[in-house]
Amino acid sequence: MGSVGNVCPVRVFSRQDVQRFWLMGANFPRCRRISAPVGYNGVQGLPTRRNFQGVMTFSSTSTFSFGASQNRQIGIWLLICAVMVFAMTVLGGMTRLTHSGLSMVTWEPLAGILPPLSPEAWVEEFENYKQFPEYQKINMGMSLAGFKAIFWYEFAHRLLGRTVGLVFALPFAYFLVKRRVDRRLGLHLGALFVLGGLQGVLGWYMVSSGLVDRPDVSQYRLTAHLGLAVLIYGYMIWLAMAVLLPSARPWGEPPLVGFRVATFAIAASAFILILSGGLVAGLDAGFAYNTYPTMDGAWVPAGMLTDPFGNITTVQFLHRWLGPAMAILVVLVWGRGLYLALPRRVMAAHYWLIFTLAAQGATGIGTLLLVVPVPLASVHQAGALVFFTVAIVAAFLTDQARYEPASDIKVLP
């Protein structure tokens, strides 16, 4: 790399020079003007990391990109399964909000696919329900019509779970038989299948906790059930993007490590915030302290330090303030992304993070102030999954973004 007079006609670099510049911010020779192409500072003659923004491209090189053997059909199938898991999770939240989760007191993975089909069968189902604490301590005197109202929520939730299992398992078996998936993708899909089976078992484990002396499910088991559903959903979204956006370029420097870590931290924090919401739902904590921003006039109410996961005051306090903390993180990462001038689709994901989080905060405050109306609370729960989805997409796209030389800069192998 040399210069003639005050001109720096530098157009050809070794890959090592470029990578050293990207990683260390190494300075090329200064000069008053340069003849080098876009991506250089024409005043200083110094190519800074900022000046390479014009060559930031989107290039799939993610760890989870599997290669040419995968195709569009697999990606669409995974997205369909993810949408069904999304719907099932929201329906599960509605089941909790309507206190319908304990209406089915037995677990029959095969026989339970059909509801009661005769008046006699409905009476028998209702009599079974009467043997358990929820009827005896809360719903004493409930009519058969009232029982049917809560039964259908839980039945629909379980039926959708079985449907998701079939929609996943049958195409998965087909793809394996036809050898449409390679070994690596097959292992990921197999892991999803196992997690789905465990989710069914965990669901009954949760329900069984409410069929004993206390007519309510354990908030810990409910949160675990919710958390596993969200993990399965996020896993499906990530794999679908990896299949639909296969690797296109063999090399290129990713954005700063700190920025990528921060983007993944947003997705992880969104997951933690959802778990916090699970504890709030499990303890019915939304029915207390229905004021905002203070909690019945106190910024930090008394009794905060006792039983942080089983105390209504502590659980609601943490859920309230994890949201604003998340907002600060999202805005800081968005601002840093503007400086790095990331590709348009990457920045679009970060803009959507701000929008969806603002909407989620608004529905959360409304749910609290209105004392948990079921429709608005369901929208709030669905909004949490939407925000988590955007966070996963933002992390995936950021992970794949690459700095690459401009078209008229040649990089030697």
Asked which of 246, 280, 305 is the last residue of a domain, the reply is 246
The yes-or-no verdict on residue 52 having pLDDT over 70 is no
Q: Same domain for 242 and 355?
A: no
Whether residue 20 is contained in a domain is answered as: yes
pLDDT of residue 111: 66
Check residue 25 and give its pLDDT.
38
Same domain, 210 and 79: yes
> 3 lies in a domain?
no
Q: Are residues 76 and 190 in the same domain?
A: yes
Q: Tell me whether residue 384 is in a domain.
A: yes
Domains in the chain, number: 3
- Indicate whether 161 and 137 sit together in one domain: yes
235 and 384 housed in the same domain: no
Amino acid at 217: V
Say whether both 290 and 388 belong to one domain.
yes
- Strand, coil or helix: 156: helix
Question: pLDDT tens across 148-169, in order?
Answer: 999 999 999 999 999 999 999 9
**Do both 364 and 261 map to the same domain?**
yes
pLDDT at 66 over 60: no
Please check whether residues 319 and 354 belong to one and the same domain.
yes
Q: What percent of the chain has pLDDT over 90?
A: 48
195 - beta bridge partners? none
pLDDT confidence of residue 253: 55
Last residue within a domain, chosen from 246, 277, 307: 246
Query: Do 303 and 395 belong together in one domain?
Result: yes
Distance (Å) of CA 158 to CA 92, 151, 154, 165: 9, 11, 6, 11
Q: Give the chain's largest Cα–Cα span.
A: 99
Rounded to whole angstroms, the Cα distance separating 390 from 193 reads 24
Task: Provide the pairing of β-strand 410-412 with 12-14.
Answer: parallel
Of all residues in the chain, the percent with pLDDT exceeding 70 is 77
The burial class, CB within 10 Å (0-12 / 13-18 / 19+), for 70 is: buried
Same domain, residue pair 240 and 287: no
Residue 40 has pLDDT above 90, yes or no: no
DSSP state of 299: S
Query: Of the residues 246, 268, 299, which one is the last residue of a structural domain?
Result: 246
Domain membership of residue 5 (yes or no) is: no
Query: Whole domain around residue 203: which residue ranges?
Result: 71-246
Residue 32 makes CB contacts below 8 A (sequence gap 6+) with 6, 45
Give the pLDDT confidence of 325-372 residue by residue, as tens digits.
999 999 999 988 888 777 788 889 999 999 999 999 999 999 999 999
Q: Does the structure show a pLDDT above 60 at 13?
A: no
| Kind of pairing between the strands at 56-58 and 12-14 | unpaired
With 80 as the cut, is the pLDDT of residue 70 above it? no
Residue 5: predicted pLDDT: 42
Indicate whether 264 and 326 sit together in one domain.
Answer: yes
